[in-house]
Amino acid sequence: MKRATLDLLCCPDCRGALSLDDEHGDDVVNEGTLSCSHCGRDFLIGNGIVRFISHKDLEGLNRYFARFYDRFSRFEGVFDKLSFLSMGGERKARMEILHRLEHNNGRILEVSIGTGRNLPYLFESAETCEVYGLDISAPQLARCLRLADKRGWPVELFLGMAEVLPFRSETFNSVFHIGGINFFYQKKKAIDEMIRVARPGCKIVIADESERVARFIARLLRLSRSNQGKKVDTSVPVHLIPETMEEIRVDGIWKRHGQYHGYCLEFRKPA
Ligand SMILES: C[S@@+](CC[C@H](N)C(=O)[O-])C[C@H]1O[C@@H](n2cnc3c(N)ncnc32)[C@H](O)[C@@H]1O
């Protein structure tokens, strides 16, 4: 993590300011501790990744999916390639979403960055300067870090929950999410957080599998009632977007055999 990134962060619990305790005082911080001046919580930095959560903090579906992706991480690349094959390939499937982003030569946040499979496409654009990625799974982030380091891309990574982002309000010029929200533990909270950290006038893009596909996955993974006993809601979360947002639209994406397998929801935070 760059030392300057500290200015963008806050405590995910109480939004207090964080101070850095590291031994070397270098511009890049690989090991150290962030402490919240308000609630006193400490967050460890390891390999340049700040760990804002540990497994014991996670509840319901978040706990389930953190464990799931910890194990699934090594297969994700092959799985994505195969799943997108019949939709014209991974590049086409990802660009259907990514071409909607407005990079604005600024900071881009990917909520649930996973292993970083969107990074190659993001860095094809000359307008991509810095990417910030958060995910609930440490093995997913470890893979993402290796990819970014190998290619020399400026990417900052954080272990955390979409529902409580560790970033100060109005920090990012572009915010997007792909592929996890259908099964987030608290979708509304995650959407409100994306809006909070986006700058005024910022476009926010959210994509995931269609309701039909999500219901199939929920049955396959036996998730139907695993959200604290409540039925898992697999609907497109357009009803969770506050009325104050502008230019709200939903499109079908990932077409195969005449049917859309995903949705892309986009909207703008008022300027
Ligand atoms: C299907 S992967 C998508 C990864 C990446 N966005 C992509 O397009 O390849 C879903 C990701 O969501 C993450 N995830 C699931 N629940 C989350 C939560 N509550 N907060 C943050 N990340 C979460 C998982 O760890 C996983 O990396």
The residue whose CA is least distant from atom 9 of ligand 1 is 117
Nearest to 156 by CA among 200, 113, 96: 113
* Predicted structure pTM score: 0.96
Is the minimum distance from the CB of 52 to ligand 1 under 6 angstroms?
no
Domain ranges of the chain: 1-51, 53-268
Nearest ligand 1 atom to the CA of 137 is 25
Assign a CATH topology to domain 53-268: Rossmann fold (3.40.50)
pLDDT > 60? residue 227: no
Ligand 1 centre to CA of 236 (Å) is 17
Residues 33-65: tens digit of each pLDDT: 999 999 999 999 999 999 999 988 898 889 999
Helix (H, G, I), strand (E, B) or coil at 131: strand
Q: How far apart (Å, rounded) are the C-alpha atoms in residues 29 and 27?
A: 6
Q: CB-based contacts of 169: which residues, under 8 Å, 6+ apart?
A: 196, 197
Ligand 1 centre to CA of 142 (Å) is 13
Please report, as a single letter, which amino acid is at residue 81. Answer: K
Is the minimum distance from the CB of 128 to ligand 1 under 6 angstroms?
no
